[in-house]
Amino acid sequence: MSKRYTITAALPYTNGPIHIGHLAGVYVPADIYSRYLRLTGNDVAFICGSDEHGVPITIKAKKEGVTPQDIVDKYHAIIKTSFEDFGITFDNYSRTSAKVHHNTASEFFKTLYDKNEFVEEVSEQLYDAEANQFLADRFVIGTCPKCGNEESYGDQCENCGTSHNATDLISPKSVITGNVPTLKETKHWFLPLNKHEQFLKEWILEGHKKDWKPNVYGQVKSWIDDGLRPRAVTRDLDWGIPVPIEGGEGKVLYVWFDAPIGYISATKEWAAREGKNWEDYWKNDDTTLVHFIGKDNIVFHCIIFPAMLKAEGSYILPENVPANEFLNLEGSKLSTSKNWAVWLPDYLQDFPNQQDVLRYALTANAPETKDNDFTWKDFQARNNNELVAIFGNFINRVVVLTNKYYNGIIPEPSDLSSIDQETLAAVKAYPSVISSSIERYRFREASQELMNLARLGNKYLADEEPWKTIKTDEERTKTVMFVALQIASALSVLCEPFLPFTSAKMKNILNSRDNSWNNISSKEILLPADHQIGKAELLFSKIEDAQIQVQLDKLEASKKANEAANKAIEPQKKEITFDDFTKLDIRVGTILEAEKMPKTKKLLVLTVDTGIDTRTIVSGIAESFKPEDVVGKRVTVLVNLAPRRLRGVESQGMILMTENESGDLVFVNPDIAEVDNGLKIS
Ligand SMILES: [Zn+2]
């Protein structure tokens, strides 16, 4: 039965391009889901847009000496193109700087204000006197009160996901000047989340215990159990949507208040264009609302936005928020600032027309229940061993043989053997198997079921061997090819959510416009005898080791560049007195012996002549030096460091190290061969 769906995908933040983490966490699963719903005959509004307000954009604009509008215009265009390039089928991709959004968000705020849903409060907020600026959100970092992460932002800790007020941070520091902020009074409007606690408990903790993903449910439960507090929804900033009430001059809406309303304004914009009624998609109980997001957005989509919708009163609430965990890249966290990422425009340059390969690799390895790692080796294996060797190989054999034996005209089958019948029955079962996985947001599983159908096709051909029977039994060969073509046709439809570009190519080759998921189970045959198909066309091609090495080298280069950049900007430590310095006793020494500490990667156990004595020092340099390379080295030793036991060995001092220009560890070397060990350095 056809149903109405509003599917939203997290609004990407317009301060940089999109990388594979975004694609894997949000946009590919949301697109698979939306395409699937359309193929099964539902009414879908798939909505997204650029999030163009907030502090990081103003910081970036300041850094580059341009206006915030310049920044968002640039990245909105880049991001929008990437989505189109990767076949993400948004019905509307809007932006929060659009007029319709400013109006919608302002009205939403006013409605809550008029209904007395805010608490107005003059409170002391963090202030940077030198910059003449209140320090909200990303203008301030400090220690997270929940997990102890020392680089938490003012509104959210990226380490534990907790959302808090800037004044909750321990030892806050201004991002603009590095100063310790002072407190200054200012008026703001707060959304009293505590007032909605009971509703959130009933709606999520009781109502969605079974159907929401455990990682989402667990986070939400922990926040609610900790107790919810009022959150300011306005800011003392100049970039954003002006607070539309008296007393709000010079203030804007908090970016996380306006951004989710962006889903509503983008729907309005689309509905106006398509001649539809937007309210059907947001205010009708028959509509299913689903938010696709990454795990860092859970608090905003499961607590704050629903509280806003509930307070407003006329909106539906999300049926599900299937947030994914994080995707890591080659063992490390993806990071825009550290350039540890695979950017979509770069990917397309290196792998032109291979969008489906990335979509597939990211889906087959999606971080659905826990953080997961993207490796280029896995990407290569998914392509070469699955897409090329199984899926592509099957389709290619079917099309080539049909052309070779029958000039591309599907042959008339004779009696079906029991294997043929079982095979066709198995094909008919696949739509509901894949549906069931997709409807439970298990896209990895769904993609593997799709591959299983291709495997079934391959096995059928390998067992029935039409290339042999063509010499002995023409009638049997016709039947086998007929059955194989039915499998190919089913694959061309069922792969569309996952491999949309390949699906289009296959439908073109098979000369088939049938696009209905449900027909595969219900129709007797999918491609009739006498139907003319086209010529074979390569669907996937092998990815060579050299191509993968290029990608690994790129990552290595950004690691090096990042290390160099970090070194350049590391701030000076706190001042010390001359007396503090004279407490350090640093001597010239020589390494006499060295051996690897058993069962460790990093530690070498060194015997060092310090001139005072011969002692043992454990040093964390084993990843950079082999024991035999350091014996005889002149070194600089801090000799009066209190002894410390490491893995049962007492270390009596520290060898001073630094890094060379390529980021490799090197000794701080006295480089004066004539001096005796024990010479003091001061
Ligand atoms: Zn934290």
- In tens, the pLDDT along 652-681 reads 999 998 877 656 788 887 666 667 888 887
3-state secondary structure of 619: strand
Gap between the Cα atoms of 328 and 376, Å rounded: 12
* Distance, CA of 366 to CA of 443 (rounded, Å): 8
CA–CA separation, 179 and 161 (whole Å) = 25
Calculate the dihedral angle through the C-alpha atoms of 46, 500, 28, 21, rounding to the nearest 10 degrees. -140
The three-state (H, E, C) secondary structure of 580-614, written as one string: HHHCCCEEEEEEEEEEECCCCCCCEEEEEECCCCE
Whether 76 has a pLDDT exceeding 80, the answer reads yes
Residue 415 scores a pLDDT above 70: yes
Residues 6+ positions from 215 with CB-CB distance below 8 Å: 295, 323, 325, 369, 370
Query: Does the pLDDT value for residue 440 go beyond 90?
Result: yes
Confidence bin at 306 (pLDDT 50/70/90) = very high
8-state DSSP, 416:
P
Q: Which amino acid would we find at residue 289?
A: L
Q: Ligand 1: distance of its center to the CA of 160 in Å?
A: 4
Centre of ligand 1 from the C-alpha of residue 130, in Å: 28
Three-class SS state of 359: helix
Q: Is 124 left (phi over 0), alpha (psi -120 to 50) or beta?
A: beta
- Expressed in angstroms and rounded, the spacing between residue 192 Cα and the centre of ligand 1 is 22
> How many A from CA of 48 to the centre of ligand 1?
28
Average pLDDT of the residues of the chain: 93
305-312 helix and 255-274 helix, angle to the nearest 10 degrees? 60
CA 519 from chain center: how many Å?
A: 35
- At residue 332, the 3 state secondary structure works out as strand
Q: Kind and range of the H or E element at 235?
A: strand 234-235
Domain boundaries, the chain: 4-108+258-329, 116-235, 382-522, 578-667
Q: Which CATH code is given to the segment(s) 4-108+258-329?
A: 3.40.50.620
Measured in angstroms, how far is the CA atom of residue 89 from the centroid of ligand 1? 35
Tell me the CA–centroid distance for residue 543 and ligand 1, in Å: 41
Residue 134, SS3 per DSSP? strand
The pLDDT value recorded for residue 248 is 94
Residue bearing tokens 């540890």: 340
Q: Determine the distance separating the centroid of ligand 1 and the alpha carbon of 164, expressed in angstroms.
A: 9
Please state the rounded mean pLDDT for residues 197-216. Answer: 95
Tell how far the Cα of 475 is from the centroid of ligand 1, in angstroms. 69
SS (H, E, C) 493-558: HHCCCCCHHHHHHHHHHHCCCCCCCCHHHHCCCCCCCCCECCCCCCCCCCCCHHHHHHHHHHHHHH
- DSSP-assigned beta bridge partners for residue 658: 666
List 332's β-bridge partners, or say none.
329
Looking at residue 231, its pLDDT comes to 93
Rounded CA-CA distance 32/360 in Å is 11
Confidence of residue 93 (pLDDT cuts 50, 70, 90): very high
Question: With bands split at pLDDT 50, 70 and 90, how would you rate the model's confidence at 51?
Answer: very high
Q: 155: CA distance to ligand 1 center in Å?
A: 11
Whether domain 578-667 has CATH 3.40.50.720: the reply is no
pLDDT at 662: 59
Starting at the earlier edge strand, list the strands of the sheet with 287-292. Answer: 92-95, 43-50, 4-9, 287-292
Range 147-154, long-range pairs (CB < 8 A, 24+ positions) = 154/126
Is 336 within any annotated ligand binding site? Answer: yes
Q: Is the pLDDT of residue 408 over 70?
A: yes
In one-letter notation, the amino acid at residue 305 is F
Question: At 634, phi and psi to the nearest 5?
Answer: -80, 135
For 382-522, the fitting CATH number among 1.10.730.10, 3.40.50.300, 1.20.120.80, 1.10.150.300 is 1.10.730.10
Strands 170-174 and 140-143: antiparallel
Structure tokens at 259: 């951004």
CB-proximal residues (5 Å) to ion ligand 1: 144, 146-147, 149, 157, 159-160
522: CA distance to ligand 1 center in Å?
A: 52
Q: How far apart are CA 513 and CA 511, in angstroms?
A: 7
Q: Is the pLDDT of residue 567 over 80?
A: no
State the distance from the centre of ligand 1 to the C-alpha of 163, rounded, in angstroms.
Answer: 8
Distance in angstroms (rounded) separating the CA atoms of residues 519 and 527: 11
Closest CA to 562 of 363, 395, 337: 337
78: CA distance to ligand 1 center in Å?
Answer: 32
Confidence of residue 632 (pLDDT cuts 50, 70, 90): confident
Whole-Å CA distances, 19 to 26, 80, 327, 331, 596? 11, 13, 11, 16, 40
State the fold for domain 116-235.
Methionyl-trna Synthetase; domain 2 (2.170.220)
Distance 216 CA to ligand 1 centre (A): 17
- Whether 467 has a pLDDT exceeding 70, the answer reads yes
Q: What is the pLDDT of residue 661?
A: 60
Residue 42: its pLDDT value, please?
Answer: 97
| Residue 671 pLDDT | 64
| Of residues 538, 642, 628, the one with CA closest to residue 583 | 642
Amino acid at 191: L
pLDDT > 80? residue 541: yes
What's the gap in Å between 366 CA and the centre of ligand 1?
24
Q: At 320, which amino acid appears?
A: N
Nearest Cα neighbor of 490 from 457, 537, 444, 447 is: 457
Query: Do the annotations mark residue 495 as ligand-binding?
Result: no
Go through 449-479 and write b for each residue having 16 or more CB atoms within 10 A of its CB, e for each that does not: bbbebbebbbebbeebebeebbeeeeebbbb
Residue 302 in marked binding region = no
Rounded distance from Cα 136 to ligand 1 centre (Å): 17
Nearest to 255 by CA among 26, 50, 51, 22: 51
pTM of the model as a whole: 0.82
C-alpha 350 to ligand 1 mean position (Å): 37
In the reported structure, the alpha carbon of residue 463 is separated from the centroid of ligand 1 by a whole-number distance in angstroms of: 57
